[in-house]
Chain A
């Protein structure tokens, strides 16, 4: 467990190369706030996709609303393309329980019926609680319970991963 945290910029480049053979110009990317949006912006540029980039905030669909209330900072979701019949790749920074992805898929279906949804994640930390898997992953990295990996962005827009105590 002393493996150092991977370099986010290198992982991002790797993730883009893994996605490249599997996307067409019509593939639509949707980033999940906040880290997933940063990644999706970069992937959208590197993969030269034609569809405008979508962003999604899953706060209105989270399954812990009943116990934790509404997230204090909800950003608007913005899906600037027709969801019906679209080939969509959801982008998130860290794949963990799978609950965020479930919420994102539920929200997407309220926009229309996509042709397909795939998932890209920079890091898969294991610990899934739902039958959800990513088609594209930068790396797998096990993290102890009670800790969390977060993606951060500096003023030069460079991404990096940090390990934090999980919020209660």
Chain B
């Protein structure tokens, strides 16, 4: 069984959100449209709607995260759900077994939804395969595999500023090799009809088969950023790096760090995105991160609306 079958119920509606790969375009567009309606809820006096009243959402984080966990928590609370946060350190014992035992116990507490972050690729899929049919699972990042809500909020951000996808050039810069975010973005951009996606980085930080995903590969910023509409900077993932893939962070900044000079190769109205957390002075210079073209903080705000949309669509599908 492929992973995307697992995400959809018999009527083709979203049952779990595990990966953007294989997700039909109309489901992605519906999530973005619904998120747009949730944006104004965040600007009202009472920032809550009653959709998930009486539902229990468990944030199961086996790997550290501040922004993602917090925005999922805010999203669930704005939908009036009860939120339980569990920061479960990855156990050194048999992980699969422990994971399913944890989930079985929480299911016995009448969980309605699990939001799962795990360092192992496929953890959310494993849980989705084993939960009762009325429980929904959202992948909040699994290993190097996928981070679908980040990919969706990035698409929301691009659509918000650029209106449509079908005439865009998008560059994804940096540590693509270790990035689940990049994988989710590439799948989403393709599904939404972006004609030109480029990945830019040193050979050691690009997957060897990355061009199979339909992207152009560049190793220098000048050519790679030329005339792009959107620049997505990735975080240099020190914690996922074992072995010497890079001479040094300074060396990386010299060639791939986004500076005003490198940014000037892109279109004048290009937007600069970053999923966070940022390493200032390593992948991005502060003057760019805080500059006119940066939409890094709006991405965080949009992330709440997108997660509200995903949760309310999932919980409404039996």
Contact = CB atoms under 8 A, between A and B. Distances in A.
A53 B37 CA distance: 18
Given A76-B39, A77-B40, A111-B44, A106 B316 contact: no
B34 interface: yes
A76 B34 CA distance: 8
Interface residues of A, number: 22
B48 interface: yes
Nearest to B316: A69
Contacts, number: 50
A111 B40 CA distance: 11
Interface stretch (A2-10, A60-68, A93-101, A151-159): A60-68
B33 interface: yes
Contacts of B44: 110-111
B313 interface: yes
Interface string B17-40: 000000000000010011011111
A127 interface: no
A110 B312 contact: no
Contacts of B40: 76-78
B33 A73 contact: yes
A57 interface: yes
Interface in A45-80: 57, 59-61, 65-66, 68-70, 72-78
Nearest to B55: A66
B35 to A, nearest CB: 10
A65 B51 CA distance: 7
Interface in B38-53: 38-41, 44-46, 48-51
A154 B36 CA distance: 27
Nearest to A66: B316
A88 B312 CA distance: 29
B317 interface: yes
A61 B53 CA distance: 11
Contact of A74 (B13, B34, B48): B34
A70 B312 contact: yes
Interface in B180-220: none
Nearest to B313: A70
Contacts of B50: 60-61, 106
A94 to B, nearest CB: 23
A53 B178 CA distance: 50
Nearest to A76: B37
A68 B50 CA distance: 15
A110 B46 contact: yes
A61 B49 contact: yes
A60 B45 contact: no
A167 to B, nearest CB: 16
Contacts of A110: 44-46, 48-49
B53 to A, nearest CB: 9
A60 B316 contact: no
B30 A57 contact: no
Nearest to A107: B49
A65 B313 CA distance: 10
Interface in A109-157: 109-112
B34 A77 contact: no
A107 B49 CA distance: 8
A162 to B, nearest CB: 26
A57 to B, nearest CB: 7
A65 B317 CA distance: 9
B55 to A, nearest CB: 10
A107 B44 CA distance: 11
Nearest to A64: B316
B30 A72 contact: yes
What 7 A-B pairs have minimum CB-CB distances, sorted nearest first? A69-B316, A60-B49, A110-B46, A70-B316, A74-B37, A76-B37, A76-B40
6 contacts: A60-B41, A69-B316, A74-B37, A106-B50, A110-B46, A111-B44
Interface of B: 13, 30, 33-34, 36-41, 44-46, 48-51, 312-313, 316-318
Interface of A: 57, 59-61, 65-66, 68-70, 72-78, 106-107, 109-112
Given A76-B37, A77-B37, 10 more contacts: A57-B37, A65-B316, A66-B316, A69-B13, A72-B30, A74-B33, A74-B37, A110-B44, A110-B48, A111-B46
